[in-house]
Structure 1
Amino acid sequence: MRADRLVSLVLLLRQRGRMTAETLARELEVSTRTVLRDIEALSSAGVPVYAERGRHGGFALLPDFQTALTGLNHDEALALLVAGSRRGAHLFGLGSALASAMLKLVDALPESLRDTAADATQRLLIDPETDLLSRRVTADEVSDTVVAEVRRAVFAGHKLRIHYAAVDQAPKWRTVDPIGLVTVREQGYLLAKRAGEGRTYRLSRLLAAEELDEPAQRPDTVDLDRAWQERNARFRTDGDKVAVLVRANPAQREHLAGTALAVCAEEADADGWLRLNVIFQDSRHAEWALWQHAPDAEVLAPQWLRTSLCNRAAAITARYGPSS
């Protein structure tokens, strides 16, 4: 760990020039005292780092130790830097490793590419935390220690023992055969098999994990994209999912689809409106979603959902009508 930190310290000084001990401590997520000890260790090892005193002082490094990555063109270097800016790595416990790798990548670029690539990445924003409607993207909170154990089992092909808290259930220990890791919209998932059946576990619900020595029962190769699509299709039909027949204004089609789990079928009515078969997570989800689209969507079936929406509309009318 210290060796990686010393390398990162050198790369920070190379790329940013003079930096104070406090700034270095924030970047490296250590104390100022640790930074001072690291600086001393680098100096003792012959690395040309020196201190500049005064109000605008700090530590600086003489140019040295250059390694050029000459096989990359500008667009290739830019693609790597943009990929490295995505937040998915944090869900897999690789956030600090990604930051260190990006420092090494930038430092290894030829000087002619380094400046132009760094400038270009400032003009690209990937997956901001809020959209144009100021809706904040909430990323899952995942324990680095837990996900590191999961990651090791996935790559080593070993069975994995997990303490998992499913929705509305007490946490339970279970042993699974890990297949792979998936990140979707700031949420991380473990694809695995349990007793031969495919299972999907949300990483944020893993309370603990332990890699076992026993080999996992899984194929040597896997099409993770296909496996995810199969799990996704099964998720839409398993459990207490609710199917709803809806007539909707075509202008609201995409918005309606965005609030549902899936649109299974659709056709156009004579008046131009769309007739859609839509799947929702459960009854509460269906009622909430369809209420958002009134009066641009009409539930045709099931009857209980029509009645529920009618009662809600009547309550709203009573609350805000003239007689109130």
Structure 2
Amino acid sequence: MPKLDYMLSLLWLLRSRGKMTAEQLAEALEISVRTVYRYVDLLCQSGVPVVAEPGHGGGFTLPDSFRESPLFFDTNELKAMAHSARIASQAGYPFADALEHALDKISHRLNEDQGEQLRRHQAGLEAVPYSTSREIKRLLSDLEEAAAHSRVCCIQYANTTGDAERMRHIHPYRLAYRTNRWYVAAYCELRGSVRMFRVDRIEQLEVTEETFARPEDVTFIELARDTLAGYSKTDASWVTVRIGGDSDVLESIGNQYFVQPFLTKHMDRELRFEMPPSVMLTYMPHLLLSFGTLVSVLEPSLLGERISELCHEIAEHHTSPKLP
């Protein structure tokens, strides 16, 4: 057991059982009496008012006025908290201010050495904020509350296709953050299925009093996969797609939102996917074409043929005479 865990265990014993001798504490914690005295000294240095009564009938106690446990964190725990607060702020996390406030509370309860460790690691990492013209923290906060309490939301959503904004009733299941974007996986009553909505495209949001049954233990990736595939992975028509190329390029491809749910193997020079033919022919040709000759289709030949056709279509579009 780590030293800090022993110290907390010793503290809990004193709080729950009252006065205990060093021998009793040593037996309960299965450590030596000498180690008990060392841990008591460390607790006192951390601000815990352990009272030592010598002689017959004596032992260690805590004053009745003592109600709060001190906070013990190792270096990695302090580092994780400090860095998480910085990254949360960069990501537009709606409760970043609350996280910073909690970290500030913790910092006031640390001993001098722990406080110095926290300040050092806070200064060692900088998260550069993503530039956006929209403030979405309020939207994220409302969506998180709606998802937590299974509340139906009415949203006005702007499509990228140029369609007019339409009011939709959605059942928000999960929020997800990836590549500087926030998404909400939600059942759309208009479409009758689960859809992925970019939060920065939600123009208006109203959380209603109506509730819905939220599926349990379903991840965002699973929801995205089933939405794009349109049916279960057990369908026999799924195909293997193998893409070769430079490792950096493959990493970029493998992290694309619409193909990531189907990625099965990521090697240094090859990606492997399992996906329905409809997904492969809808998304993969345009995606791979954007990387030019830096990638190659290893399997299946149908995908390579579709990319070739797409190249001819693009060439014809740009070389054919244009009407005035």
When normalised by structure 1's length, the TM-score is 0.54
Give the direction of change, closer, same or farther, for the CA distance of 1:304–1:198 in structure 2 (3 Å limit).
closer
Deviations 1:27-50 (A, max 9, x none): xxxxxxxxxxxxxxxxxxxxxxxx
Q: CA deviation at 1:305?
A: 2.1
Matching of residue 287 in structure 1 with residue 289 in structure 2: yes
Aligned mate of 2:308, from 306, 309, 313: 306
Task: State the alpha-carbon separation in 2 of the partners of residues 283 and 275 from structure 1.
Answer: 15
Aligned to 1:187: 181
Match of 1:103, SS state, is helix
Give the direction of change, closer, same or farther, for the CA distance of 1:210–1:92 in structure 2 (3 Å limit).
farther
Larger Cα-atom Rg? 2
- Once the two structures are superposed, the pairs formed by residues 74-89 of structure 1 within 5 Å of their partners are 74-87=75-88
Aligned mate of 2:222, from 226, 230, 245: 230
Give the direction of change, closer, same or farther, for the CA distance of 1:182–1:248 in structure 2 (3 Å limit).
closer
Q: CA deviation at 1:179?
A: 1.7
- Once the two structures are superposed, the pairs formed by residues 137-286 of structure 1 within 5 Å of their partners are 141-168=134-161, 169-195=163-189, 197-219=193-215, 222-223=216-217, 226-234=218-226, 237=229, 248=244, 252-253=246-247, 255-256=249-250, 258-259=252-253, 261=259, 279=280, 281=283, 283-286=285-288
Alignment RMSD, CA only?
4.1
Q: CA deviation at 1:141?
A: 4.1
The amino acid of 1:151's aligned partner reads E
Give the direction of change, closer, same or farther, for the CA distance of 1:229–1:71 in structure 2 (3 Å limit).
same
Structure 1: gaps spanning 5 or more residues: 1-66, 130-136, 267-272, 314-324
Q: CA deviation at 1:90?
A: 4.7
Task: State the alpha-carbon separation in 1 of the partners of residues 73 and 96 from structure 2.
Answer: 24
Task: State the alpha-carbon separation in 2 of the partners of residues 248 and 282 from structure 1.
Answer: 13
Confirm or deny: 8 A CA contact 2:107 2:115 kept in the other structure.
yes
Task: State the alpha-carbon separation in 2 of the partners of residues 264 and 156 from structure 1.
Answer: 32
Give the direction of change, closer, same or farther, for the CA distance of 1:161–1:258 in structure 2 (3 Å limit).
same
Give the direction of change, closer, same or farther, for the CA distance of 1:94–1:140 in structure 2 (3 Å limit).
farther
Deviations 1:206-232 (A, max 9, x none): 11111111222224xx32xx4212123
Q: CA deviation at 1:151?
A: 2.4
Q: CA deviation at 1:98?
A: 3.1
Q: CA deviation at 1:82?
A: 1.7
Match of 1:120, SS state, is helix
The amino acid of 2:97's aligned partner reads S
Q: How many residues get paired?
A: 224
Match of 1:86, SS state, is helix
When normalised by structure 2's length, the TM-score is 0.54
- Identity, in percent, stands at 14
Task: State the alpha-carbon separation in 2 of the partners of residues 90 and 230 from structure 1.
Answer: 23
The amino acid of 1:216's aligned partner reads F
Give the direction of change, closer, same or farther, for the CA distance of 1:245–1:75 in structure 2 (3 Å limit).
closer
Confirm or deny: 8 A CA contact 2:263 2:271 kept in the other structure.
no
Structure 2: gaps spanning 5 or more residues: 1-67, 231-238, 275-279, 316-324
Matching of residue 104 in structure 1 with residue 100 in structure 2: no
Confirm or deny: 8 A CA contact 1:68 1:110 kept in the other structure.
no
Match of 2:87, SS state, is coil
Task: State the alpha-carbon separation in 1 of the partners of residues 213 and 107 from structure 2.
Answer: 40
Deviations 1:61-99 (A, max 9, x none): xxxxxx985233333222211221213675342233333
Q: CA deviation at 1:287?
A: 1.9
Task: State the alpha-carbon separation in 1 of the partners of residues 101 and 224 from structure 2.
Answer: 34
The amino acid of 2:183's aligned partner reads Y
Match of 2:219, SS state, is helix
Give the direction of change, closer, same or farther, for the CA distance of 1:149–1:246 in structure 2 (3 Å limit).
closer
